[in-house]
């Protein structure tokens, strides 16, 4: 025992810390949800971690936290392997065996990009689970694991010897709160409408949301982000933007409306962006029309609606060619389009977008020559 303690002291490690922090677990399986990982890492460090799931950003952040904690514990070296590149696990096994009396403690980082291992890697990982070392921390991470991997011998051994973390995509209110925190972290403020638009755009994909917010931070540093900024940033790589579609409709330019929609559909622009932009415009102009019917002057109604000076003429012409019945019909179309965008109705959303844009342009039917 004295010799063991002397050796541990010489290596700069206290035996009690060694047992608590980096020895394989002696108790039953340890499964952790991602949100509890940081609390676990404050208390101890296991010999092996498996982090997997559909949310690439949460997987990345969990692995970053594990590596940071490992560095604090003296794991100063790191070796990286990826099963899609390193088809042969021989180098991995050699690296795991490459320990000497004075070797630095290291993290062996194995990536499973497709959530699977293949027979050779499964065998290699299984062999490594039987010879875990206090000088090596094994971190295995990747996409959601295939059922065969989750039922494999190496995974079950990892679950017993260390910690397995399964990441689930965020949705609902947790995702909204996460997006708001990310905006704040990037030094941005965000309106409720812009937040909702980004939630709809990214559909629980936190990595996509982080990329969009980072783009907004570059384009509008320190600003308050509204829906216009979100739409512009999302569509800034497109030949046309959703605002171009609105402008063409207000101008009554049928050919351009059809052309813009065809281009946007071909470029893969999300239909809900167009739904949002068209619906916002229709509801704003319908409000102006309603105010005029109540006796307000067109100029005052447009001023109250915050219509920009450069759009006054286009809005005035649009209001002049559409009737109260038209606005009621378009508002009903907006509601139906919203349901389609959320997957709650039947029909072709691009056809519905075209019909609404045509209504706004003052054309209820598209001429055969245009189609």
Q: Is the CA virtual torsion 291, 292, 295, 301 positive or negative? A: positive
Domain boundaries, the chain: 2-167, 171-237, 240-371
In this structure, how many other beta carbons lie within 10 angstroms of the beta carbon of residue 239? 11
Tokens of 17: 């810390």
Report strand pairing: 163-167 vs 189-190: unpaired
d(C-alpha 247, C-alpha 242), whole Å: 9
Q: Please choose, from the candidates 47, 103, 57, the residue with its C-alpha nearest in 3D space to the C-alpha of residue 213.
A: 57
- Predicted local distance difference test score (pLDDT) of residue 3: 36
- Predicted local distance difference test score (pLDDT) of residue 202: 76
In CATH terms, the fold of domain 240-371 is Zinc Finger, Delta Prime; domain 3 (1.20.272)
- Predicted local distance difference test score (pLDDT) of residue 30: 74
Q: Please choose, from the candidates 64, 93, 84, 76, the residue with its C-alpha nearest in 3D space to the C-alpha of residue 165.
A: 64
Report strand pairing: 163-167 vs 136-142: unpaired
Predicted structure pTM score: 0.55
Phi-psi region of 2 (alpha: psi -120 to 50; beta: other; left: phi over 0): alpha
Mean pLDDT by 10 residues, the chain (371 residues): 37 38 48 87 93 87 93 91 82 78 78 87 92 91 88 92 88 87 91 87 78 84 88 64 88 89 83 86 91 89 84 90 90 88 82 91 53 36
DSSP state string for 134-197? TTEEEEEEESSPPHHHHTSHHHHHHHHHSEEEEE----HHHHHHHHHHHHHHTT-EE-HHHHHH
Strands (E) in 181-311, as ranges, are: 189-190, 224-225
SS3 assignment, position 110: strand
Q: Is the CA virtual torsion 224, 226, 231, 234 positive or negative? A: positive
- Which element (helix H / strand E) includes 81? strand 75-82
In CATH terms, the fold of domain 171-237 is Helicase, Ruva Protein; domain 3 (1.10.8)
Give 37-40's long-range contacts (Cβ < 8 A, gap of 24+). 37/62, 37/65, 37/66, 37/163, 37/165, 38/65, 40/163
Burial environment of residue 341 by CB neighbours within 10 A (0 to 12, 13 to 18, 19 or more): buried
Tens of pLDDT, residue by residue over 122-177, are 999 999 998 888 889 999 999 888 888 888 999 999 989 999 998 888 878 888 88
Q: What is the second-level CATH architecture of the domain 2-167?
A: 3-Layer(aba) Sandwich (3.40)
Domains 2-167 and 240-371 share a fold: no
d(C-alpha 195, C-alpha 191), whole Å: 6
d(C-alpha 327, C-alpha 319), whole Å: 10
Give the bridge partners for 49, in sequence order.
Answer: 139, 163
Tens of pLDDT, residue by residue over 310-319, are 888 999 999 9
């Amino acid at each position: 025992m004295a010799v063991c303690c002397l050796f541990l002291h010489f290596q700069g490690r206290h035996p009690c810390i060694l047992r608590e922090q980096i020895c394989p677990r002696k108790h039953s399986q340890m499964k952790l949800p991602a949100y509890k990982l940081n609390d676990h890492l404050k208390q101890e460090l296991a010999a092996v971690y498996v982090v997997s799931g559909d949310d690439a950003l949460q997987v990345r952040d969990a692995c970053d936290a594990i590596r940071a904690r490992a560095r604090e514990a003296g794991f100063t070296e790191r070796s990286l392997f990826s099963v899609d590149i390193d088809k042969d696990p021989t180098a991995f096994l050699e690296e795991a065996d490459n320990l000497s009396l004075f070797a630095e403690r290291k993290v062996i980082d194995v990536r499973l990009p497709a959530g699977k291992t293949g027979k050779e890697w499964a065998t290699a990982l299984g062999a490594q689970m039987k010879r875990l070392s206090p000088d090596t921390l094994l971190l295995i991470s990747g996409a959601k694991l295939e059922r065969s991997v989750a039922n494999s011998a190496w995974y079950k051994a990892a679950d017993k010897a260390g910690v397995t973390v399964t990441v689930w995509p965020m949705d609902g209110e947790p995702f909204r709160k996460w997006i708001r925190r990310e905006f704040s972290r990037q030094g941005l403020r965000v309106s409720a409408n812009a937040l909702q638009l980004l939630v709809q755009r990214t559909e629980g994909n936190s990595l996509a949301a982080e990329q969009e917010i980072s783009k907004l931070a570059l384009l509008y540093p320190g600003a308050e982000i509204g829906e216009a900024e979100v739409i512009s940033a999302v569509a800034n790589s497109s030949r046309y933007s959703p605002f171009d579609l609105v402008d063409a409709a207000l101008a009554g330019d049928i050919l351009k409306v059809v052309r813009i929609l065809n281009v946007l559909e071909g470029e893969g622009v999300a239909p809900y962006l167009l739904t949002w932009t068209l619906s916002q415009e229709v509801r704003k102009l319908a409000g102006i029309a309603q105010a005029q019917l109540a006796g307000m002057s067109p100029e005052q109604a447009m001023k109250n609606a915050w219509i920009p000076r450069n759009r006054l003429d286009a809005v005035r012409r649009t209001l002049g060619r559409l009737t109260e019945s038209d606005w009621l019909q378009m508002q009903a179309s907006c509601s139906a389009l919203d349901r389609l965008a959320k997957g709650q109705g039947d029909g072709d959303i691009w056809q519905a977008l075209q019909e609404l844009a045509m209504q706004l342009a003052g054309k209820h039917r598209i001429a055969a020559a245009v189609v």
